[in-house]
Amino acid sequence: QLHLQESGPGLVKPSETLSLNCSVSGASINSDVTYWAWIRQSPGKGLEWIGSLYYSGSSYYNPSLKSRVTILADTSKNLFSLKVRSVTAADTAIYYCARGEPFVWGRGTMVTVSS
Partner 1 sequence: NFMLTQPHSVSESPGKTVTISCTRSSGSIASYYVQWCQQRPGSSPTTVISDDNQRPSGVPDRFSGSIDRSSNSASLTISELRPEDEADYYCHTYDSDSHEVFGTGTRVSV
Residues lying near partner 1 in the complex (CB under 8 A) are found at: 35, 37, 39, 46-49, 52, 54, 58, 60, 62-63, 96, 100-108
Q: Which is nearer to partner 1, 11 or 47 (CB)?
A: 47
Q: Which is nearer to partner 1, 16 or 27 (CB)?
A: 27
- 69: helix, strand or coil: strand
Q: Residue type at 59?
A: S
Contacting residues for 62 by C-beta, under 8 A, at least 6 apart: 48, 49, 50, 51, 69
Q: Which is nearer to partner 1, 30 or 56 (CB)?
A: 56
Cα dihedral 65→67→68→72 (10° resolution): 90
Q: How far is the CB of 115 from partner 1 (least distance, A)?
A: 27
Q: How far is the CB of 66 from partner 1 (least distance, A)?
A: 10
